[in-house]
Each structure stands twice: as C-alpha cells, then as structure tokens.
Structure 1
Amino acid sequence: MPRAARPIWLLNLLALLGRDAGYRGVPSDHFDGMRFRNLQPTPQKSLRELLKWQRERPRQTPWITLSPAPASPVATRVDGAELRVTYINHATVLLQLHGLNILTDPLWSQRASPFSFIGPRRHHPPGLSLEQLPPIDVILVSHNHYDHLDLGTLRQLAERFPAARVITGLGNGALIGTCGFAQVDELDWWQTLPLGEQLSLHGVPVQHWSARGRKDTNQTLWLGFVLDSPHGPLLFPGDSGLGPEFQLIRQRFGPLRFAALPIGAYEPRWFMRDHHMNPDDAVQAHQQLEAQTSMAIHFGTFHLTDEGQLDPPRALTRALAERGIEPQTFRAPAPGEQWTVPALLTEHV
C-alpha cells in the first residue's frame, strides 16, 4: 500500500516498530551518518531509567478539563510592521506577519499519542478551531514527537490548505508527505529559506531529541525556526533544554522581537533536564536571547510529566521576580489569546 494511502494508525504503528527509515545523508558536526546529536551532547535516557521514573513518580493529582475561552477575532492577513501572535494550545501558535499566516507544530487531536484510544489526553480545547483559522501559507514542524508532529491534524490541514508549504527538519519530509501537502521542505541547522521580500526562515539548533518508537531515536533532526525581517527576528524553538543554542541564536540574529518559549513537561528534573526547560530555564533563555517579548508555550494542555496542571505559569511568575525581569515581557497566555507584538525598538537591517 502506498504510504500516502496508509491509515494514520498504521503509519504510527510502523514507526513504533522501527519500520520507517530515518535520514540518510552526509555526516556533519551533528550527524554521524545514522543519528543526530546535540551541539552539547546529552545522554539518552534508557528504558531502565524510564521505568525507574514511572515506578518512583509521586501520586498524580488528576488534571481537570478546562472550558474554552472565547477566541479573539483573527485577521485574514496582516502587513507592514505588524505582528499578531495567537496561542492555540501546547506548541501550536499562529504567527501573522508580512502577509503570511504561519502555523507551528499543529495539534488539534484529542490525544498526544500514536493511538486515538490511549495516551495523554487533551485537558484544554484549542484556542481556535480548524474552521476558525485564516488561510494557512506555511506550517513549521520542529520534530517528530507525537505532541509536535501529529499526522491526524496534518491530514486535516492538508485537506483545508493543500497549497500550504510545510517546513521541517531533515528526515521528517517523507512522513509528513503522506498527509497530502504539495510541498514539504527539509532544513538542517543554520540553513535558510526565503519566504518573501522581507522575510526569511532559518533552521536553528535546539537541545532536544527525536523518536516515534524505541528503534528510531535521533534518526531525524529536531530544530527551531527563526523568522527574520527588518522589524526584528522571531524564534519558535519547538522543544528544548537549556543549552548553548540560545546564546548562539542571539549572536547570529541579534536581540529578538519575539520568542515562544516552552515552560512545561519538566518534572522530574533528573529525567527531563537535558531536553525540557522548566520555567526558570525559560527565563534564562529569554535573557540570553534579549527577547523584547516572550510567550510561554507547551504547558497546561496535555499531562505529560509530573508537575501540576497550574504549576508552570506560577513558577514562571516566581522565576521572573527572582531574576528581576519585568513580568510584562514574558507572559503565559490562555489558549485563544492574541497578542499584537511591537516591532523591535531598535530595528535592524
């Protein structure tokens, strides 16, 4: 059966069994010909360590399902220096700038899982429905974990916006291509794609990992994205631990106009520290980037780790106060909340 015709459950099952090959290409400073690695090498947790976490994790307080908040009206398009950012849920953000509508790590499914009947379930509805989206031009997929690369959502988006251009890391294109998009581009770290006369997209390194099963670990690339324009650069990192990457991004692109920084899925620290920031780590990243405005993402939608449902935004408030950061520069939004982000105070060329 052609890959494009396979049902999603079969594609996910084949990935779990290690039947889908990863990226094959020329070795580099972060690719040995078979597997990718972080700039600052991080140990991969073993099955024994995973079982230790599950065995020793404290009793979990059940998460509650929250009611949807009314969504702000979404413009069809915005132009000029304007930037509108709508937080939808988890790592899904709608970026509107320079006449383009850009969607990050889209996830509308009820579970962040290879299966529809088991796995972390949704505890907050998306801030926008698929029907409320404006025409989508570009979709960014940071890596292949199920809470970031969701085939069910991607297939629905391909039906609604078949001309949308999908951009992802090396090795993810074939799987995303089964969803029906006309164009899927793969980027390496520090590669660039033009998106218009005033907008360019850059793949950037982040500290994370990839896998859809136990046998394909790090065989496809994880990355963040910088959208650069004369009004200041924007960063969407997907998922990341706190490593050297944020300082390198600042060195290359200058102070950031906007950053979407993950603050959830961080407990227990001995297990999560290398690949997921906690709120204090995210505040340090905000400082390293010299971000004018940061939005907290990746919290409160799916119960993935041991912190409580409301812990990340509370810990963010504490971390900002302890580090003397103006709280209005880094906030945690509600799903559906829309921000108009000013241009960088000192515009760059």
Structure 2
Amino acid sequence: MALRFKNLDGSGPHGFDTVFKWAVGDKLRGLRRKSPSRAPVPRVEPDLAALATPPAPGQGARLTWLGHASWLVQLDGISLLIDPVLRDAINVVIRRNVPTGVPTEKLPPITASLVSHNHYDHLDLPSLKDVGAPIVTGLGQMPVFKGSRLGCTELDWWGSTKVGPVTVHYVPSQHWSRRALAGPNEMLWGGFVIEGSSARLYHSGDTAYFEGFKEIGRRHPGIDAAMLPIGAYDPAWFMSKQHMNPEEAVQAFEDLGASRFLAMHWGTFKLTDEPLDEPPQRLDAEWSRRHWPREKLHVLAVGQSLHVQQG
C-alpha cells in the first residue's frame, strides 16, 4: 500500500511482522527486558495564581510540564497546550503513573491546542474536547475532529500560522502515524517551533534521532528552550526508528543549537521496556560526560514551571 506521508529519509512505519515480533514473539520467548509498571516520579503542586496570568509581550515564556509530552506554554499574553493528555488513562488500559500537572478544570483559558501527531498518547480527543480550544496540527488530521466542534488548522512541514500574536511553525520529525481505522501514515507527524516577541520554543513531538534537527536549528536559529523526549526507547532494535534515547536527545539538542534542554516523554505512561525512572539517570550521565553547563539542563517535576527568555 502506498503511504501518503514518509519521513525525510523516505522511511515509513514498521511492518506488521516487525511489530508482531516485538509485541508478541519476543515477549513469549522472554527476550524483552522486564521492569516495574510504576515508579516514583517527582510532582509538585502548580502555582495556579501565577498560571492565571500569562507573561506579557517582552516578558519571555513560562513552560509548565503536565506529564509525558503535554505542556502548558504561556507567552505574549496567551496560553497554549501542546499534546494535552490530561485524563487518568490512554486506551483505557494504560494508566498514568503520576497525576497530570494541572487538571483540566484548573487550566487558564487556552487560545489553541497544538497536536504533534495522531497517536493516542499525544492526541487525546476527550482532553481536547474538555479544553475546547481550536487545534493546530499536521496535514490529514481533520477527520479526527469531525463532529467535535473544534476548529482545526492543518499545516505541512515548514508551514506556519498565527495564534494571536504568536507564530506557530510545524516542523518535521522522524516518526509515523496510525489511528483507529485510518491506515498507516495517512496523517502527518511533526513538531512545533513557537515564536513570540521574546522567546523561541521548540517541541519535538515524537521522534527518533535524525538529521532534521540540524535543519530545524538552521531555519529557526536561537531556540531558547527545546522540549525533547528522553523515554520509550527499549528495546532499541524496535524503538530507535521512532523514539530517541537520552543520549540521542542530547545530540539532538546540540544539533538544534538551543539554549536550554527540557526533558519530556518519560515517567508518565509505561509504554516500553525500560524502567520509568531510568531516562533522567541516563540523561544526567550523558550531560556529565560532555561536561556541559548544568544550568542548561532542566528535568522538571510534573506540575513545575520554568521561565525562559531570549538571551
């Protein structure tokens, strides 16, 4: 079957035989790494009073980690959500290891929700309906939102749109897509560069390591904060085509030329075989190996906020 979308290198998703080997064959043969389904992950109570007022133009941006790849991003007087998955479970059976950073009912008014791709741990339709904000996402996603009364702006890679005073750019990632009855790669996947008056931010979406990070950094120089995934990498033979490990995420950060690294996509949902709390340990070890400044690395607690600004 011809794929509508492919990665920059021409690759598509794993075939059924490969997925079966990972999901069933290796498991039955005892070849998959075993680790607990839960682990302690830091969470703090959010400062709801501060979150009620987004930074004004010229005052930088506030980034609050909600868990997994979900973020509340506030800048230039508006609040955005990225990949909001705010319920207790995805696909009913995969339950949260740690509560969301800010419950839906306590969020400030949201101007738009940015959705990187259609996998259920990034596009949670009930969460998006509860928030009720218009959607910005990749090409082909419109059918997911049919009947939801949510406005939807679709973008191709390198496309842009305005959300209030902020410019949102949709950029490539190395991944794939599939959802319910839709075929593989019928809907585009990617990440976002969010450009305000005094902060430029990057959220990778789901991605393997790829050469595209250098091109994103070239087209969008001066990224003040890069939200990069560090989990869901084991076993490497299967996951490395779609997710980064912590060491690869550090290399992606260098390729982007960003100023600050913000870790995400770990500790919230048990999706792969590594322990839930292993990714930040490997990230810390790689950062130390490179002798990089500690002030550039941020592994936030769920619910914690960080203020970033150009310069």
1:87–1:333: 8 Å Cα contact kept in structure 2? yes
Identify the residue that residue 153 of structure 2 maps to in structure 1: 185
Aligned partner letter, 1:300: G
Distance 1:322 1:184 in 2: 44
Which residue of the other structure, out of 236, 246, 252, is the alignment partner of 1:279? 246
Distance 1:325 1:229 in 2: 27
Identify the residue that residue 126 of structure 2 maps to in structure 1: 152
Long gaps (5+) in structure 2: none
DSSP-derived class of the 1:186 partner: strand
DSSP-derived class of the 2:149 partner: coil
2:230–2:265: 8 Å Cα contact kept in structure 1? yes
Query: Does the C-alpha gap of structure 1 residues 285 and 131 become closer, same or farther in structure 2, counting only changes over 3 Å?
Result: same
1:293 aligns with 2:260: yes
Worse overlay, 330-339 or 71-80: 71-80
Q: TM-score, normalised by structure 1?
A: 0.82
Aligned partner letter, 2:101: G
Pairwise CA distance, 1:179: 2.5
Q: TM-score, normalised by structure 2?
A: 0.91
Distance 1:195 1:155 in 2: 19
Identify the residue that residue 77 of structure 1 maps to in structure 2: 54
Distance 1:75 1:195 in 2: 19
2:157–2:172: 8 Å Cα contact kept in structure 1? yes
Aligned partner letter, 1:233: R
Which residue of the other structure, out of 233, 239, 250, is the alignment partner of 2:217? 250
Distance 1:251 1:230 in 2: 19
1:60 aligns with 2:35: yes
2:234–2:272: 8 Å Cα contact kept in structure 1? yes
Query: Does the C-alpha gap of structure 1 residues 304 and 136 become closer, same or farther in structure 2, counting only changes over 3 Å?
Result: same
Which residue of the other structure, out of 236, 241, 248, is the alignment partner of 2:208? 241
Identify the residue that residue 17 of structure 1 maps to in structure 2: none
Identify the residue that residue 101 of structure 2 maps to in structure 1: 127
Identify the residue that residue 233 of structure 2 maps to in structure 1: 266
Aligned partner letter, 2:83: D
Aligned partner letter, 1:312: P
Paired positions, count: 302
1:272-329 deviation line (CA, Å, top 9, x unaligned)? 1111011111111111111111210110000000110110111110111112222221
The percent of aligned pairs where both chains have the same amino acid is 36
Long gaps (5+) in structure 1: 1-31, 159-163
DSSP-derived class of the 1:88 partner: strand
Pairwise CA distance, 1:156: 1.3
1:89-138 deviation line (CA, Å, top 9, x unaligned)? 1111011001110100010122222xx2x3x2111000111121000001
Does 1 or 2 have the higher relative contact order (CA < 8 Å, sep 6+)?
A: 2
Pairwise CA distance, 1:334: 0.9
Identify the residue that residue 95 of structure 1 maps to in structure 2: 73
Identify the residue that residue 22 of structure 1 maps to in structure 2: none
Pairwise CA distance, 1:62: 3.1
Aligned partner letter, 1:167: V
1:89–1:298: 8 Å Cα contact kept in structure 2? yes
2:83–2:123: 8 Å Cα contact kept in structure 1? yes
